[in-house]
Amino acid sequence: MHFVRIAIELVIGFTALFFMTKILGKATLAQITAFDFISAIVLGELVGNALYDKEIGIGSILFAVALWGLMIYVVEWCTQKFRGSRSFLEGQPSIIIRNGHMDREMMKKEKLDIDMLQNLLRRKDVFSIREVDYAILETDGTVSVLKKSQYTQPTMEDLQKPRKPVYLPVTIIDDGEVDWGNLKAAGLNEDWLLKNLRSHHIHSYKEIFYCEWKKDEGVYIEKM
């Protein structure tokens, strides 16, 4: 009976966790933030303790999983509904290599040393920092890399074409809200933005789901 009880509780715990991940969506599985990491530990502990504690029944397992799942759902809802909560709950990407140079202050802030940075770059098949024009530390701890043009495949040397400068895309509008900090950092202003929106027959920021600007390619817009 002891093994039967463990088997039943394990199946129920697995099923409950499986359905919870289905309800929360694929985006939760795609990236592991600090909150997701804590959630995984807590849920594993809840189910693990329930398996070997005779005083904890199936109802307790389901209640604990359901309550914790509800809390995760509320947090995810807040990050979708309130844009200002995203940086606090999910964190923000950090540029650790900018224009081919390491940002030491940002690396210090993120507790990232050279050895750790090189390890993350090697996972992106980058074996020398000199190849990198921009590197961004994502909220899940991985690094996204934009290589210098001469190191991209195929290389400019192979094609015998002149080297072109590399530009980092800048997010201007996200979920109908303008990121004025990014707009100013890119050397642009509101008049420039309004002029570009009118050229696309758009009269309000709220009509735009996502807008980015790249110096060599201009603006890219996704409407609501």
Q: What digits encode the pLDDT tens for the residues 85-102?
A: 666 666 678 888 888 888
Q: Which residue has the higher pLDDT, 170 or 52?
A: 170
Ramachandran sector of residue 162 (left: φ over 0; alpha: ψ -120 to 50; beta: rest) = beta
User: pLDDT at residue 172 above 60?
Assistant: yes
The pLDDT value given to residue 5: 64
User: pLDDT at residue 27 above 80?
Assistant: no
Once rounded to an integer, what is the mean pLDDT over residues 65-76?
A: 74
CATH of 170-223, one of 2.20.130.10, 3.30.240.20, 3.50.50.60, 1.20.1600.10: 3.30.240.20
Please enumerate in sequence order all residues whose Cβ is within 8 A of that of 7, keeping only pairs 6 or more positions apart, or say none: none
pLDDT digits (tens, 9 = 90+) for 194-220: 888 888 888 888 888 788 888 887 888
The pLDDT value given to residue 168: 78
Both tokens of residue 22? 């289905």
Amino acid letter, residue 182: N
Q: Which residue has the higher pLDDT, 93 or 12?
A: 93
Phi, psi of 89 (to 5 degrees): -85, -35
Phi, psi of 211 (to 5 degrees): -140, 125
Q: Which CATH superfamily is domain 94-159 in?
A: bsu07140 like domains (3.30.240.20)
What percent of the chain clears pLDDT 90, i.e. is strictly above it?
Answer: 1
